[in-house]
Amino acid sequence: MSGRDPSRYSSPRWRPRVVHDIVLAVAEQMEDAGLPMPPAAFYRTLSEHAESAAQEWIADAIAQAGTESADADLAKVRHLLDTLGDELFIGTELAVDATLARLLAYLLVDCTDGYNYACCDLHWGMNPDPEWGTRWGIHQDIRDLSPAFLFKLCRKGDVRFLAVECHAPTRRLPEDAAARLRARTLIVSGVPVLAFSPAEIEGDPAACVAEIGNALAILAQELLALHGIEPPPRHDFRPRTGA
């Protein structure tokens, strides 16, 4: 692990372009450290994307002031301010792969389970599960797998897992989003695994994160249905038994 001082990027005051600047600053630090990472142009695009997301969340929070939705939007902005720099640096260091670093970066900004912001857990196994929420780790073991990314959805002691890998060849996938998600999903040792090709991640990491989010949303709704809060999901991205 790096000897970098994490306080350098922690809790800056909000101002326009601060998220943009956090991304570019940590990209420079990663380059100086010699980490396997995408080129500088990727981080320039990411910095604009992350800044735009933060601005949109703030605008939504202002429009819905005093509601739980506004609080959730502001919490996402605060999360970017507090942790994005450190998670991007340490996560890229753990990924040890420039393609995975692309997906990691967009997961840090965009990933939700349809109900909650999905938080990166850099200390997997050291923290208790949330009462309700999703966390994810990098190269964590589950059963006989060690996927690139492992997601754990939690609801009052019940859990669902989703693994994400980057090794599938480029394929002709269906246009329909639900059919495409099912087509790229495998079941390995009882764990659903979404497999993306390097070309897909390098071409559009945001679209890959959107597909991951769709799968997480189905699993989250399944947990809510288990607790009698929502009806069971109408669609399931997981292949049928024996398929």
pLDDT for 187-211, tens place per residue?
A: 999 999 999 999 999 999 999 999 9
Give the integer Cα–Cα distance in Å for 140 and 150: 6
By CB atoms closer than 10 A (0-12, 13-18, 19+), residue 170 is exposed
Query: Would you state the pLDDT for residue 100?
Result: 98
Q: Which ranges in the chain belong to alpha helices (H)?
A: 18-33, 40-63, 68-95, 98-110, 177-183, 198-203, 205-226
Tokens (6 digits) for 133:
């929420």
Query: Would you state the pLDDT for residue 12?
Result: 81
DSSP annotation of 112 reads: B
Enclosing H/E stretch for 38: none
Please answer whether residues 186 and 193 qualify as being in contact, where contact means their C-beta atoms are separated by less than 8 angstroms: yes
Please answer whether residues 73 and 13 qualify as being in contact, where contact means their C-beta atoms are separated by less than 8 angstroms: no
Query: Would you state the pLDDT for residue 241?
Result: 61
Given the structure tokens 């492992």, which residue do they identify?
150
**pLDDT (average), residues 114-124:** 95
Query: Would you state the pLDDT for residue 169?
Result: 80
pLDDT for 208-242, tens place per residue?
A: 999 999 999 999 999 999 999 999 999 999 987 64
Tokens (6 digits) for 65:
């002031």
Give the integer Cα–Cα distance in Å for 134 and 150: 10
**pLDDT (average), residues 12-39:** 96
pLDDT for 31-68, tens place per residue?
A: 999 999 999 999 999 999 999 999 999 999 999 999 99
The phi, psi pair for 86, rounded to 5°, reads: -70, -45
Q: How confident is the model at residue 11 (pLDDT cuts 50, 70, 90)?
A: low
pLDDT for 147-159, tens place per residue?
A: 999 999 999 999 9
pTM for this entry: 0.92
pLDDT exceeding 70 applies to what percent of the chain? 94
Amino acid code (one letter) for 96: V
